Amino acid sequence: ETGVTQTPRHLVMGMTNKKSLKCEQHLGHNAMYWYKQSAKKPLELMFVYNFKEQTENNSVPSRFSPECPNSSHLFLHLHTLQPEDSALYLCASSSLDRGNNSPLHFGNGTRLTVT
Amino acid sequence: AQSVTQLGSHVSVSEGALVLLRCNYSSSVPPYLFWYVQYPNQGLQLLLKYTTGATLVKGINGFEAEFKKSETSFHLTKPSAHMSDAAEYFCAVSDDGTASKLTFGTGTRLQVTL
């Protein structure tokens, strides 16, 4: 149990499908993140939410749409993806408090395959 | 701008041997440095971190790392490898300690053989 739960663990979708990834954290953190992990590349930060407000969007294509309804839940809505979007998508959370920033806590990821 | 270089995408050691995973960073300010481990089919887990103070940092599972400012390095070591240490290890740097400002290296896959 990591404290950060991601569903589904595996997802195969066609380029015309619409699907959503879900992340839930039980750690009382106030910030949540989406990362993309591709083979032989560094982790890429996609989005950051701090107290439900999006604070980072690292030039992510609009076919990825995040949603953060509260500090414990984070979604990544996917539509019209490309095969190069196949990767492991990791959710993470942390506490962002003045003078006391906790490290990232990761979920186990969703392995996405776009066919 | 900050960056992280991990030398060696794959490292293989025998069980019981010393583990040394290399990490060099660049940062315009005193850095915050992290090592994360990723076991198969799992997310990343924090091994240890350096913020300020003592330059030798001890982490979980017998790992430790030493911050060497003059060498801009933060190499990860473990005196005696165990089969369960086989995983991918990521070094990361942050200018201000904020997770959203973390820059990760490309990772080093550690293989432990009998």
Question: Mean pLDDT across the stretch B67-88?
Answer: 96
With cut-offs at 50, 70 and 90, classify the pLDDT of residue B79: very high
Instruction: Tell me what pLDDT residue B31 has.
Output: 86
Cβ atoms of residues A111 and A6 within 8 Å: no
A interface mutation test: which of B6, B39, B44, B88 has the most A CBs within 10 A?
A: B44
Distance from CA of B47 to the nearest CA of A (A): 11
- Please name which of A70, A38, A100 lies closest in space to residue B99, comparing C-alpha atoms: A100
Cβ atoms of residues B93 and B102 within 8 Å: yes
- Is pLDDT at A104 greater than 70 in this prediction? yes
Distance from CA of B63 to the nearest CA of A (A): 17
Instruction: Tell me what pLDDT residue B99 has.
Output: 65
- Is pLDDT at A47 greater than 80 in this prediction? yes
Instruction: Tell me what pLDDT residue A98 has.
Output: 61
Instruction: Tell me what pLDDT residue B104 has.
Output: 92
Instruction: Tell me what pLDDT residue A101 has.
Output: 65
B51-66 burial: b if 16+ Cβ within 10 Å, else e = eeeeeebebeeebbbe
What values do phi and psi take at A50, rounded to 5? Answer: -120, 115
Return d(Cα B40, Cα B52) in angstroms, integer: 31
Return d(Cα B91, Cα B102) in angstroms, integer: 10
Taking contacts as CB-CB distances below 8 angstroms, the residues of chain B near A42 are: 4, 103-107
Instruction: Tell me what pLDDT residue A96 has.
Output: 77
Instruction: Tell me what pLDDT residue A103 has.
Output: 83
B51 CB within 8 Å of a chain A CB: no
Question: Mean pLDDT across the stretch A25-46?
Answer: 91
Distance from CA of B80 to the nearest CA of A (A): 27
What values do phi and psi take at B69, rounded to 5? Answer: -65, -40
How many CA atoms lie within 13 Å of A68's alpha carbon, on the beta-carbon side? 21
SS (H, E, C) chain B: CCEEECCCCEEEEECCCCEEECCEEECCCCCEEEEEEECCCCCEEEEEEECCCCCEEECHHHCEEEEEHHHCEEEEEECCCCHHHCEEEEEEEECCCCHHHEEECCCEEEEEEC
Note the pLDDT tens digit of each residue in B21-56. Answer: 999 999 878 889 999 999 988 899 999 999 888 899
Residue in B41, B49, B106 nearest the CB of A108: B41
A4 CB within 8 Å of a chain B CB: yes
A interface mutation test: which of B25, B95, B100, B109 has the most A CBs within 10 A?
A: B100
Stretch 60-89 of chain A: residues touching chain B, C-beta under 8 Å: none
CB contact under 8 A, B106 and A40: yes
Stretch 24-43 of chain A: residues touching chain B, C-beta under 8 Å: 31, 33, 40-43
Instruction: Tell me what pLDDT residue B1 has.
Output: 72
Note the pLDDT tens digit of each residue in A61-101. Answer: 999 999 999 989 999 999 999 999 999 999 999 987 765 56
Cβ atoms of residues A89 and A13 within 8 Å: no
Distance from CA of A9 to the nearest CA of B (A): 9
Mean pLDDT of chain B: 92
> Residue A8: is the preceding peptide bond cis (ω within 30°)?
yes
CA A87 to chain centre: 12
